[in-house]
Amino acid sequence: MKYSVPAPHHSDSVHLVTGGDRRYFQGIQMTVASALMRIPSNRHVVFHILDGGLTDDNRRSLESLASQLHQYSTLNFHDVSEILPQGATPGPGNSVIAYGRIWMGSLLSDIDKVIYLDSDTLVLGDLSHLWDIDLQEYSTLACSDIKIASLSGDTAGPLSENEKSLPYFNSGVLVVDLSKWREIQIERRALDLIADPKCTYRWHDQTILNYLLRGTIGVIPAEWNWMARDFPTGDNLSVNLIHYTNSNKPWNYWGNDLRFQLWRETYRVLFGSPLRMFVTAGASQGLACGLFDSAVEHFSPLRSIYLGCLKTILLLSSDSNKKGVLNQKIKFLSRLRNTDSEADQMNFLKKFQKDLLSAVNK
């Protein structure tokens, strides 16, 4: 079975989908803004928002933002607040949005192709390039997940020996042929799995979609869904989209590495001081923790003291989950800093700032 990127296929209107509730408004806002500013102004863009509980002010802000950033853009809101079937396990934050993309075929019944984006993404490249790819025989294009190598690592049902080695994708960025999803009845089959008490779906609809779409996925380069903490360096410094997959989101944690700096720089150009955003959004704890982590990472004496405290806590802890987190943090803080990599990333940031201003003023 082959897995490759199909050939380009041009279509004028670009249909994008993201979603969330008012707790994710900052993320939705940035996903919409960063995507629209990168798509050429002569392409018509329709942004579909899976609305899990946005406020009227949230919707008005998004509509105003879209009209400012792209003259040929349209925003459509689709209420999904009551879409989760009885008995299903809610997603992170007790939200239904973790299942939202399963219902895209019904919600967008007159549309046959979309690009789905999680609402914790920052778009750095032109999504029309991704849109213009012809899916050919594939139902979906996606990037491989960095934590789970193959389908055997997370499955919602039994697999044949051949299927166990199929690539496992991250569902945060998807190019979807909705007509094929309807044809293979993704929604009905997903509902059957959700209703089955024997079914384990560890990562909510990501687990379900990986299982139901097995064998129909085309794998696209990681630059369209960059999930790692560190950027690739040197000549390989190519990232078209950053996906903030862990619990520290850029609107609730002042991270110091490049991906957080890029989010804040975009916010600063579009909306003003990110510092003010942290304070007004009630994320002062994330601001303080982030600044402390930055200080620990960059000042050797403080890092040595902090490492000593973490190792002591690790030694005394009996909680296996806590020990895993501590080990990961100790490993990161103990590594030698790569000054060449940091220089590459600073050069990337400077180029990003220049391209960002050009994109906003296009």
| 95-111 per-position pLDDT tens digit | 677 778 899 999 999 99
pLDDT value for 349: 87
Is pLDDT above 80 for 4?
no
Specify the domain boundaries for CATH 3.90.550.10 within the chain: 14-224
Does pLDDT of 182 surpass 90?
yes
In angstroms, the first-to-last Cα distance of the chain is: 43
Specify the DSSP class assigned to residue 257: S
Q: Is the pLDDT of residue 7 over 50?
A: no
Query: Which tokens is 239 given?
Result: 């990232």
The separation between CA 64 and the C-alpha centre of its own chain, rounded to angstroms, equals: 23
Both tokens assigned to 119: 């609402």
Average pLDDT over every residue of 33-50? 96
With residue 337 as reference, give the H or E element that holds it: none
Residue 279 confidence (pLDDT): 85
pLDDT, mean of residues 63-92: 83
Task: Flag the least confident range among 14-18, 193-197, 214-218, 278-282.
Answer: 193-197
283-339 pLDDT, tens per residue? Answer: 888 889 888 888 888 888 888 998 899 999 999 888 888 888 888 888 878 876 666
Backbone angles phi, psi at 246, to 5 degrees: -85, 180
Q: How confident is the model at residue 114 (pLDDT cuts 50, 70, 90)?
A: very high
pLDDT value for 2? 33
Contact status, residue 52 vs residue 19, Cβ threshold 8 Å? yes
β-pair type (14-20, 45-51): parallel
Q: Are 173 and 143 in contact (CB under 8 A)?
A: yes
Mean pLDDT of the chain: 87
Cβ proximity of 142 and 14 under 8 Å: no
Report the percent of the chain where pLDDT is more than 90.
56
Answer yes or no: is pLDDT of 217 > 70: yes
The two beta strands, 140-144 and 73-79, are unpaired
Rounded average pLDDT over 224-231: 88
Average pLDDT score over residue span 220-239: 83
At residue 341, does pLDDT exceed 80?
no
Poorest-pLDDT segment among 39-53, 123-137, 184-198, 203-217: 184-198
Phi, psi of 135 (to 5 degrees): -70, -15
CATH 3.40.50.920 fits 14-224, yes or no: no
Rounded CA gap, 239 and 220, in Å?
13
| Average pLDDT over every residue of 175-186 | 96
Ranking 96-100, 114-118, 163-167, 236-240 by mean pLDDT, the lowest is 96-100
- Is 103 or 85 the better-scoring residue by pLDDT? 103
Given a cut of 60, whether residue 94 has pLDDT beyond it is no
